[in-house]
Structure 1
Amino acid sequence: MALLEIDGIGLSFGGLRAVDNVSLYVNQAEVVSLIGPNGAGKTTIFNILTGIYKIDTGKILFEDKPIHNQIPQDIVKAGIARTFQNIRLFRNMRVIENVLVGSHITAHYGLLETIFRTSRFKQAETENTVNAVHLLKDVGLLNRLHDYAANLPYGEQRKLEIARALATGARLILLDEPAAGMNPQESAELLRFVLSLRDKGYTILMIEHDMNVVMNISDRIYVLDYGKVISQGLPSQVANDPKVIEAYLGSAPNAQNK
């Protein structure tokens, strides 16, 4: 059974068919990439998966339960979290505080318990802090625990944003162009980092324009063009698909050298 299954979804904005009968699946502990030219519908699909847009047709199952057209909070609680192309950290908060923000979506205490700092509140906050420290260790940011997010190098800010997503308890992480703005060294480090998350059992669905990252990190790839899936398969299959070369990769020699 696939962790995530998208079955024939469609979405129109006025007369524009932004997503047209798209189907895909993501298995547990896979890295699946969604690529295509600008305007192909990639980010629209992420916005559908996270409850920002509602679909006109089709269905979406996560862990075999329907999640399409639910509100964002319920989708996060179900186990899906995302990052953004433009990093959205709380820059004037410390690293550990950014991670703790992610954990509060699943808080098991109410407003009054927070105000009066009940034993239930204190226990939950202690557990969240311990979990945050473990996550920061996992992503290699334990030594940055008390630094302000604004003071982290760009690559470490990306890691922190992913750690915050993991703190929600997510089992599926949607990465929106994680290598955007990175130099080759940072991209290589990101590649190793995402693969390490997969090895820990996390599942990744990723939008990415850096073909070196895509071809070296993906278990499978889906290619979108004008809101439709035009190709899918292993990186080697997609890179040599004439439809992909024409729509996105440019030319066969370049595609084969990726």
Structure 2
Amino acid sequence: MLRAAINLGNPILARRDPARGEVGGVSVDLARALAHELALPLELVVVEAAGLSVEAVERGQADLGFFAIDPLRAQHIAFTAPHVLIEGCYLVREDSPLRSNDEVDAPGRVVVVGRGSAYDLHLTRTLRHARIERAPTSPAVVDTFVALGAQAEVAAGVRQQLEADAARLGGLRLLPEPFMVIRQAMGLRRDRSEPAAAALADFVERMKASGFVAAALARHRIEGARVAPAGSRSDC
């Protein structure tokens, strides 16, 4: 059995069909392709947040997962090179005076992020003055931001999720430039064998080179994400 952790907190890579309840997306397609190559049945370990996906692999509840590459996670997860690049952006209220990313990190400012997400890890390292408020999951960020009212001025997350929430709720806008580009990779526990890690890395490169990843993005109508260059490194 091949057990793959699937994070529904990142709608770019996975989501649940509201009508049928089935889970699909780019990460599911890749997991199925790998299971087919290995001639193994596939079990999807479906979770609602990035942190839970990391925990599933670290605790041996899943063999591999789909993660944003991050140095903290790399202590326990061996990443492949990235397969997809995704923009992380800031969202503010329509009447906010904030117009650029460099205005966000200021004393007294509160930034809402999804707990344990790539944005949480990145902003925890890089913000020096603003305070971070953590929503339970990435999809809950904007609703948490709105519920906090004047207590929070900025929300951070996947561009597509923020755009969808802004359209749903109204009165919100994104700052024009991404504050980070997230490198999405596959990964397994670091104490697994070197041949297993090498085989997974090779699988990712072949899926990029063959056009499989690009076709999956198109099939699931994902905009704003792009295939990572061949031979790119995880740097972790």
The answer to which structure has the higher helix fraction is: 1
- Under a length normalisation based on structure 2, what TM-score does the superposition of the two structures give? 0.28
Q: Which has the larger radius of gyration?
A: 1
Bigger strand fraction: 2
